[in-house]
């Protein structure tokens, strides 16, 4: 069997960032207006007034300080509070493919590779902009790759599950080289009028180039991978192609992301730590053999808890780097973005672990080792 390596990565970041203060100011203006408009119903006890949001709460509860979005003006307009995207013609590139393409191009450039070196594109993300043609095939076409492309989706584990699919494709001889692209355009799925979740997500695209080891110089060997899913309704989106046919048709607000954040926190952290420790043990590795954990980026407190359980000691930020302060939760892209931003300083033979966790529930874990350049 041929071995696969992660050869390079690339990132696309939307040009506009929204701070907690900007987001909260917009939300609170909207709440003030809503409470005013519903003053009679509130006074008669028919409805509860809405409570304001707070930057202090957001940073303390999640670690998030800002997020990128594809349209800041739309998100911060209290009459809209969702991104505005120009509807593109069928012969124009889609928003998701454009974001993914930029990240893919950077991954190719960083490896000194050409699209002719690539056999396939996997686009793995929480949601796809449309059903077909696949976003992956659109990216494949834009790059001029002679091969194949397909889309897949496993919520917050989309990136790691996609990576594992790419590794399998190389190791079973389907391809010499695969571009895994995870464009997470999350802000259109977020209810910016929901106090519990309006601050959680941000937009980004990340790409990894996975190659056959015998054709690649440098990069990262794959030592092992794990996937686990356990059914849970604690993180849910009812958005889907049947919405317009459903009777009764779901309201707009019922198609957005919702979660029981506390339950997710409590249930997911032990599952993740247990999976990582079991995976390490099965490979006769110790936690201290991992120079760095590139964890999913949903909540700083979750990451601190998981890393503490895995290392069983205090650890430095360098051992479990954080990108969610700048990017917020970028769903399936989070652990891959953490890797992209923080994979310097490894000597050949040093090891690290990428791990995603989230809706499903789903957990994806990949152990890598730095190769000689
Ligand atoms: N401002 C001020 N106060 C607030 C706010 C706010 N915005 N929101 C809630 N509060 C208040 C509450 O009212 C509550 O007050 P009280 O104690 O008086 O009742 C208090 O703060 C505490 O509320 P919570 O218990 O809800 O707060 P937590 O401490 O649990 O923090 C978090 C909330 C940050 C959401 C936290 O629970 C968390 O991060 N949990 C884990 C979430 C997680 O990892 N989810 C993964 C989801 S992502 C995923 O899987 C991918 C899905 C696909 C993404 C699609 C893109 C949209």
Band the pLDDT of 20: cuts 50, 70, 90: very high
Measured in Å, residue 358 CA sits from the centre of ligand 1 at 14
Q: Would you say residue 1 has pLDDT above 80?
A: no
Q: Which atom of ligand 1 is nearest to the CA of 362?
A: 50
Measured in Å, residue 195 CA sits from the centre of ligand 1 at 9
Please report the pLDDT score of residue 252 as a whole number: 80
95-153 pLDDT tens trace: 999 999 999 999 999 999 999 999 999 999 999 999 999 999 999 999 999 999 999 99
Q: What value does the mean pLDDT take over residues 359-373? A: 96
Angle made by CA atoms 150, 154, 158, in degrees to the nearest 5: 70
Distance CA 231, CA 155 (A): 13
321-338 pLDDT tens trace: 999 999 999 999 999 999
Which position among 123, 156, 269, 355 bears the catalytic label? 156
Mean pLDDT of the chain: 97
What is the model's pTM?
A: 0.96
Mutate which of 261, 272, 360 for ligand 1 pocket (most atoms within 8 A of beta carbon) = 261
Give the N- to C-terminal CA distance of the chain in Å, as an integer: 23
Q: Would you say residue 71 has pLDDT above 90?
A: yes
187-208 pLDDT tens trace: 999 999 999 999 999 999 999 9
> Between residues 9 and 1, which one has the greater pLDDT?
9
157-171 pLDDT tens trace: 999 999 999 999 999
Ligand 1: lining residues by beta carbon, under 6 Å = 53-54, 57-58, 61-62, 126, 155-156, 186, 189-190, 195-196, 201, 235, 257, 259, 261-262, 264-265, 298-299, 302, 329, 331, 358-359
214-266 pLDDT tens trace: 998 999 999 999 999 999 999 999 999 999 999 999 888 888 999 999 999 99
Ligand 1: which residue has its CA nearest to atom 10?
Answer: 196
Distance CA 195, CA 108 (A): 40
Mutate which of 55, 61, 332 for ligand 1 pocket (most atoms within 8 A of beta carbon) = 61
Please report the pLDDT score of residue 360 as a whole number: 96
For residue 244, the tally of other CB atoms under 10 A from its CB is 8
Tokens coding 46? 């028919």
Please report the pLDDT score of residue 184 as a whole number: 98
Contact 367, 277 (CB under 8 A): no
Ligand 1: which residue has its CA nearest to atom 21?
Answer: 57
Please report the pLDDT score of residue 253 as a whole number: 80
Q: Which atom of ligand 1 is nearest to the CA of 360?
A: 50
Measured in Å, residue 347 CA sits from the centre of ligand 1 at 39
Does the N-terminal peptide bond of residue 25 adopt cis geometry, omega within 30 degrees of 0?
A: no
Please report the pLDDT score of residue 276 as a whole number: 98
Q: Is 156 a catalytic residue?
A: yes
Contacts of residue 249, Cβ cutoff 8 Å, sequence gap at least 6: 243
Band the pLDDT of 2: cuts 50, 70, 90: confident
């Amino acid at each position: 069997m041929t071995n696969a390596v992660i050869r390079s990565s690339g990132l696309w970041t939307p040009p506009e960032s929204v701070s907690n203060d900007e987001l909260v100011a917009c939300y609170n203006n909207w709440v003030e207006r809503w409470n005013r408009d519903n003053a009679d119903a509130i006074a008669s006890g028919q409805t509860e007034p809405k409570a304001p949001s707070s930057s202090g709460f957001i940073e303390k509860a999640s670690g998030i300080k800002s997020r990128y979005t594809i349209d800041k003006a739309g998100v911060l307009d209290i009459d809209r509070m969702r991104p505005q995207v120009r509807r593109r013609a069928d012969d124009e590139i889609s928003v998701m493919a454009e974001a993914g393409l930029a990240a893919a191009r950077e991954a190719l450039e960083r490896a000194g590779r050409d699209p002719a070196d690539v056999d396939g594109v996997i686009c793995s993300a929480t949601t796809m902009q449309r059903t077909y043609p696949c976003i992956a095939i659109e990216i494949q076409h834009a790059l001029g790759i002679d091969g194949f492309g397909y889309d897949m989706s496993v919520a917050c584990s989309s990136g790691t599950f996609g990576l594992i699919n790419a590794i399998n494709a190389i190791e079973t001889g389907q391809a010499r080289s695969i571009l895994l692209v995870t464009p997470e355009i999350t802000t259109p799925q977020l209810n910016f009028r929901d106090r519990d979740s309006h601050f959680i997500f941000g937009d980004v695209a990340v790409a990894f180039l996975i190659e056959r080891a015998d054709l690649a110089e440098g990069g990262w060997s794959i030592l092992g991978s794990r996937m686990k899913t356990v059914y849970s309704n604690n993180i849910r989106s009812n958005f889907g192609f049947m919405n317009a046919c459903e009777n009764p048709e779901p309201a707009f607000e019922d198609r957005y992301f919702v979660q029981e954040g506390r339950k997710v926190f409590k249930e997911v952290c032990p599952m993740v730590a247990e999976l990582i420790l079991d995976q390490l043990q099965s490979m006769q590795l110790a936690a201290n053999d991992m120079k760095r954990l590139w964890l999913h980026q949903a909540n700083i407190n979750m990451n601190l808890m998981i890393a503490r359980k895995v290392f069983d000691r205090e650890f430095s930020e360098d051992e479990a780097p954080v990108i969610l302060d700048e990017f917020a939760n970028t769903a399936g892209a989070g652990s891959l973005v953490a890797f992209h931003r923080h994979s310097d300083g490894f000597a050949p033979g040093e090891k690290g672990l990428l791990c995603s966790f989230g809706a499903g529930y789903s957990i994806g874990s990949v152990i890598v080792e730095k190769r000689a350049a």
